[in-house]
Amino acid sequence: MAELDVETKKWGDSMAIIIPKPIVEAERIKLNQKIHIIIHKETDLSDLFGKFKTSKTAQQLKDEARKDWT
């Protein structure tokens, strides 16, 4: 069983992924062979920044978090 990270590519009106040749050879994947793929999307948290409102500055939040470190 192989695990790899890939990016989707546009292929006509669809999306495709490319399985690298070393994986194809190691897993002995042949043309028209059925394979099972599990999709796990990476979570992008960058869109969350700035959405939560607080009365404290970023520095105050950092200071509070560090308060109990020592």
Torsion angle of the four alpha carbons 62, 66, 68, 70, in this order, in degrees rounded to the nearest 10: -170
Q: For the chain, which residues make up each domain, given as ranges?
A: 1-33
What is the reported pTM? 0.53
Note the pLDDT tens digit of each residue in 8-60.
999 999 999 999 999 999 999 999 999 998 888 877 777 776 677 778 888 88
Structure tokens at 52: 């939560």
